[in-house]
């Protein structure tokens, strides 16, 4: 089962991707996690990625594509995978399709988690992240047990630069210009499934599972 998660930043597609991965025993491949690991380890790729992410811009294709292709080639992806954060543009989607075609594979589902921009700005302003282990929380829906402290590793949690309202607005503009066209791209391929992402998380997940049946 090869699945792509679509939706604006903050739509909740990462949370849903993790649940899908767990239910179907396939890996959740998040480019955001890969970038953050590189940033945390201060690699050259991480430094470059951070420059773009802090400004609310997309990380360029050349920093992303090879990384994802290498990951898909690993053994744990033989029964499928959930892609979260890639592809973000039509050229990336075409590159992914071409790379999969070489090995006789193709994407099977593209799930669009649809949420209005206004809801996203409010939602992301409440997000908190641990810069040490990468765990994410929300001050309303997924609060830390101890205020401001990560449940997993005990380090402080912060409002990331790319979750601040002015950066979120910029990210949404970039999303509508560059990523939203993927909805039509996968619709034409006949693999698009759309769910209402403004519902409670459990309902969004059950709608996704129903669409994969």
**Which sequence spans correspond to the domains of the chain?**
2-116+166-212
At residue 39, the pLDDT reads: 85
Annotated catalytic sites, by residue?
A: 13, 88, 127, 160, 171
Top CATH class, 2-116+166-212 = alpha beta
Q: Long-range contacts of range 149-156, CB-CB < 8 Å, 24 or more positions apart?
A: 155/130, 155/131, 156/130
Residue among 172, 188, 8, 2 nearest 85 (CA)? 8
At residue 7, the pLDDT reads: 93
Q: Are 99 and 69 in contact (CB under 8 A)?
A: yes
At residue 38, the pLDDT reads: 80
At residue 75, the pLDDT reads: 93
Mean pLDDT by 10 residues, the chain (213 residues): 93 92 94 80 85 84 76 88 92 90 92 94 90 91 94 95 89 90 96 95 96 89
At residue 52, the pLDDT reads: 87
At residue 87, the pLDDT reads: 92
At residue 132, the pLDDT reads: 92
At residue 102, the pLDDT reads: 87
At residue 154, the pLDDT reads: 96
State the sign of the Cα–Cα–Cα–Cα dihedral 155, 150, 160, 63: positive
Distance (Å) of CA 45 to CA 36, 39, 95, 104, 185 = 10, 8, 20, 30, 29
Put simply, whether the predicted model's pTM sits higher than 0.85 gets the answer no
At residue 178, the pLDDT reads: 87
């Amino acid at each position: 089962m090869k699945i792509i998660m679509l939706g604006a930043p903050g739509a909740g597609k990462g949370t849903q991707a993790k649940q899908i991965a767990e239910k179907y025993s396939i890996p959740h491949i998040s480019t955001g996690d890969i970038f953050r690991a590189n940033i945390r380890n201060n690699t050259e790729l991480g430094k470059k990625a951070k420059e773009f992410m802090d400004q609310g811009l997309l990380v360029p294709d050349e920093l992303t594509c090879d990384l994802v292709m290498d990951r898909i080639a690993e053994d744990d992806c033989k029964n499928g995978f959930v892609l979260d954060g890639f592809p973000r543009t039509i050229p990336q989607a075409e590159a992914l399709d071409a790379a999969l075609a070489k090995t006789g594979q193709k994407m099977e589902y593209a799930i669009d988690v649809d949420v209005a921009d206004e809801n996203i700005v409010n939602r992301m302003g409440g997000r908190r992240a641990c810069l040490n282990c990468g765990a994410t929380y929300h001050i309303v829906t997924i609060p830390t047990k101890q205020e401001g402290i990560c449940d997993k590793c005990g380090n402080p949690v912060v409002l990331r630069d790319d979750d601040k309202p002015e950066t979120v607005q910029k990210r949404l503009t970039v999303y509508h210009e560059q990523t939203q066209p993927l909805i039509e791209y996968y619709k034409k391929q006949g693999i698009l499934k759309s769910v209402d992402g403004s519902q409670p998380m459990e309902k969004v997940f059950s709608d996704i599972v129903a669409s994969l049946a």
